[in-house]
Chain A
């Protein structure tokens, strides 16, 4: 069993793209104008909603899942080093589930709940996107594909993902956690939180180790 896992890791070193798990927001070239289905209410937006079209590999909709997500700086207060946040940053659903997201924005500025990497034949640019204006709640529906996979969910306003609004949607078993999911996984690059005088501290400890050991050696020789 362990052997199998190790082999898996070994093979993945060769076959998996090095940036795996680090998704920014990459997939197809795309512009905000044009062919996306939009519907506005108080300026809020749902893009690429999908109630009935089944992804390949889904014979029917396997179930319904209603998820309510709240967003705002309030949710960042519990998590050190963040400024914006969501009520949860990880959602688990079964393959082929019809997911309805109610995205409540508790701040006085815009926020987004955006999924990436969905199949492009159903979702232009592989994206499902809800944008809620200040204090507004917006609801949108889409159907997740049949494969086990982790999808990046984030707010694509400048620095909102980096400052906490980064989550993952896990379909089925998933295929490995993404990095830097707020409160769930570690950042790939972690800042340093060490004291400034670390170098002196280590020198003192080095000296301590040296003198202690040589003292012990001398004691032993004397005996």
Chain B
């Protein structure tokens, strides 16, 4: 009986081995064997490769949303002249007016429309009698964007740096009134809560107070990098923002006032100095600009999210037609995600300040004024007009160097770290290396002379280090933006480009790496190929046969062993 059984099993084994040979894909035969077979039978018949499959039809956002509130137009609010801002998304002009006059001097209606608290920017006396206020009291809060929630796995108070990209971010924000979100239906952060922290502008010689109201759940401070400030403030307390050498950090729910009366003008920087390797990288940093003293110099004390200055200073207007604040910042997604994984501040602190090792870290997102391409095309285009001249104030707030490159223009660096460069070294260039936290003031002229510009057009400007032009490795993304002649902007403020359709870049799937990059060009060539189902079935059959082969082998062995014992 037993012998009969095992005979049957041996037969089965042979059948299985034969079937495995049959289903074994011929392209996997050893090379020599394939050659020999070819010499006998010639090449195998043509089996068509899988057809292309269209991955997309995925939803795209509108490239350039409408501006129903008329924020883009030039306008006068409470007597403040606000320049037009041509790109799609413009700053709230009521906010600009409140920043120029002070939230204590602006009309009630404008203040309400600005969303600012009445003590956000308090402007006091004119100390030098030159027609502008010199006592400036600024109040900052700290806000978390794309943070976690005990009731949802989705981020709350959301801010997209690119379609569907929501890294955890911390920012300084002007002191606001009301909710952190746009409205009750959405988790979208309100307009004033954005990356980067606002660019702050004061005048040389102003008596400046900055109160940091710590609305966040971690300790923070304010450090005025490069700006002329005393180590001790007017109350005899530490004023440098360094928890070790200067003062105790500001705990949640507490506040602290820093002061300075800067003697020198220039483009400076401010940032949190608590665990700075993490806090600065999370976004707690902004431009701090000290303008030269001029009569009637009513400054736009804050420029939310940096970008075009819509109410520029007197000193700027003397020699330039427009002014742009450009804030570059790279982000590490492995750091940002740490505020999204937990809701317990103790666990978040452990994760960010002990588990996260910045020496093993790498950055993934590259932002200009808080956004990556294609969103940069909505708000950080530099608009040129032939013969005009723009002053750019640039900071690299990221953890890596930046090779800032302009297409179609050679620019001139006039100041570095807030200090004027000698005339001799002011030569035109088209790549500028910027170290971490370094500031450059750039003269960008639109004179068509073959050097300053090669003429009107849509000219990119971007970090020429290759990864800077990607969003987590997907291009085009990163900090790509453009210098666009006004003639190349359509009604809505979108550049009249001549190449590829933008729609695919306005889809979250593109930056989730789900859409083949050239699919829209010619789908048959570059779409994703379908799967080789026949080969797949052969492989699955092979493994199935192999499985039963093993099972029979085992049963033969156990029977043998039993027979012996």
Residues of A within 8 A of B (CB): 22, 24-33, 40, 43, 45, 72-73, 80-84, 107-110, 112, 114, 116, 125-127, 129, 131, 133-134, 156-163, 166, 179-180, 187-191
Interface residues of B (CB under 8 A from A): 112-113, 115, 117-119, 141, 143-145, 147-153, 156-157, 175, 177-185, 187, 189-190, 193, 213-217, 251-255, 342-347
CB-defined contacts of A84 to chain B, threshold 8 Å: 217, 252-253
CB pair A72–B156 under 8 Å, yes or no, is: no
- CB within 8 A of A158: which of B115, B177, B215, B347? B215
Beyond A108-B253, A109-B255, A180-B150, whether A159 also contacts B184 by CB under 8 A is: no
Assess the A83–B345 pair: CB atoms within 8 A: yes
Could you tell me if B115 and A22 are in contact, using CB atoms closer than 8 angstroms? no
- Closest chain A residue to B213, Cβ basis: A109
B345 near A25 (CB under 8 angstroms)?
Answer: no
Measured in the bound complex, the distance between the Cα atoms of B557 and A165 in whole Å is 69
Known pairs A83-B345, A158-B156, A159-B157 / 14 extra A-B pairs, C-beta < 8 Å: A25-B181, A28-B185, A31-B182, A32-B112, A32-B115, A109-B213, A109-B255, A156-B179, A157-B215, A158-B180, A158-B193, A158-B216, A159-B143, A191-B342
Q: In the complex the two chains form, what is the Cα distance from A190 to B180 in whole Å? A: 24
Q: How far is the CA of A201 from the CA of B565 in the complex (A)?
A: 40
Q: Separation in Å of the B97 CB from the closest CB of chain A?
A: 14
Query: Given A109-B141, A131-B178, A188-B150: A159 and B213 within 8 A (CB)?
Result: no
- Which of A107, A127, A129 neighbours the largest number of chain B CB atoms within 10 Å of its CB? A107
Chain B binding site: helix, strand, loop or mixed by DSSP?
Answer: loop
Q: How far is the CA of A81 from the CA of B345 in the complex (A)?
A: 6
Q: Check A83–B217 contact: CB distance below 8 A.
A: yes
- Contact at B213–A134, with CB atoms within 8 Å? yes
In angstroms, Cα B141 to Cα A107, docked, is: 13
Contact B156 A33 (CB under 8 A): no
Contacts of B253 in A (CB 8 A): 72-73, 83-84, 107-109
Q: Which residue of A lies closest to B143 (CB)?
A: A158
Alpha-carbon separation in the docked complex, A214 to B358 (Å): 50
Which residues on the A side are within 8 Å of B189 (C-beta)? 158
How far does the Cβ of B81 sit from chain A's closest Cβ, in whole Å? 23
- Cβ contacts under 8 Å, A156 to chain B: 178-181
Nearest chain A CB to B179 CB, angstrom units: 4
Find chain B residues with CB under 8 A from A28 CB: 183-185
Minimum CB–CB distance for B237 against chain A, Å: 15
Chain B residues near A25: list those with CB within 8 A: 179, 181, 184
A131 to chain B, nearest CB (A): 7
Residues of A within 8 A of B175 (CB): 110
A sample of 28 cross-chain residue pairs with beta-carbon separation below 8 angstroms, ordered by A number, consists of: A26-B185, A28-B185, A29-B184, A32-B179, A33-B115, A45-B177, A73-B251, A81-B345, A83-B253, A109-B213, A110-B117, A110-B175, A110-B177, A110-B215, A112-B179, A114-B179, A116-B184, A156-B181, A157-B180, A158-B157, A158-B216, A159-B143, A159-B147, A187-B343, A188-B151, A189-B343, A190-B150, A191-B344
Q: State A22–B173 Cα separation when bound (angstroms).
A: 28
Query: Which residues from A are CB-within-8-Å of B118?
Result: 40, 43
Q: Which of A30, A134, A188 contacts B184 (CB 8 A)?
A: A30
**Contact partners of A157 in chain B: CB under 8 A:** 141, 143, 179-180, 215
Contact check: which of B113, B147, B214 meets A162 at CB < 8 Å? B147
CB-CB under 8 A for A191 and B343, given A25-B181, A116-B184, A159-B217: yes
Q: How far is the CB of A89 from chain B (nearest CB, A)?
A: 13
Contact A163 B217 (CB under 8 A): yes
Task: Choose from B151, B185, B343 the contact partner of A27 (Cβ within 8 Å).
Answer: B185
Chain B nearest Cβ from A191, distance in angstroms: 5
What's the Cα separation between A130 and B502 when bound, in Å?
A: 44
A131 surroundings in chain B (CB, below 8 A): 177-178
Chain A residues, CB < 8 A from B184: 25-30, 116, 125-127
Q: Which 6 A-B pairs have the closest CB atoms?
A: A187-B150, A107-B253, A73-B253, A83-B217, A108-B255, A156-B179
Are B179 and A108 in contact, CB atoms less than 8 angstroms apart?
no
Q: Is the CB of A159 within 8 A of B144?
A: yes
Chain A residue numbers with a CB within 8 Å of B147 are 158-159, 162
Cα-based distance from A107 to B255 in the complex (angstroms): 9
| Complex Cα gap A43–B270 (Å) | 27
Q: Which residues from chain B contact A22 at a C-beta distance below 8 Å? A: 151-152
Inter-chain contact A180/B151, CB cutoff 8 Å: yes
Complex partner residue of B255 from A72, A134, A161, CB under 8 angstroms: A134
A21: nearest residue on chain B (CB-CB)? B151
Distance from B244 Cβ to chain A, minimum over Cβ atoms (Å): 23
Partner of A189, one of B151, B215, B347: B151
Assembly CA distance A24 to B154 (angstroms): 11
Interchain CB contact under 8 A, B156 and A110: no
Q: Is the CB of B252 within 8 A of A24?
A: no
Residues of A within 8 A of B115 (CB): 32-33
> Across the interface, which residues of A come within 8 angstroms of B153, CB to CB?
189
Q: Pick from A22, A108, A190 the residue with the most CB of B within 10 Å.
A: A108
Chain A residue at smallest Cβ distance from B120 = A43
* A141, B345: Cα distance in complex, Å: 34
CA distance A64 to B213 in the complex (A): 36
Known: A24-B187, A83-B345, A108-B254. A160 touches B215 (CB 8 A): yes
**B329 → chain A, closest Cβ, in Å?**
19
Complex-state Cα separation, A112 to B252, whole angstroms = 15
- Give Cα A156 to B156, complex, Å: 11
Residues of A within 8 A of B183 (CB): 28-31, 125
CA distance A161 to B157 in the complex (A): 11
Q: Which residue of A lies closest to B217 (CB)?
A: A83
- By a CB distance below 8 angstroms, the chain A residues around B215 are 109-110, 157-158, 160
* Across-interface contacts of A81 in B (CB, < 8 A): 343-346
Chain B residue contacts of A187, Cβ below 8 A = 150-151, 343
Smallest CB–CB gap between A29 and chain B, Å? 5
Chain A residues near B152: list those with CB within 8 A: 22, 24, 188-189
Residues of B within 8 A of A190 (CB): 150
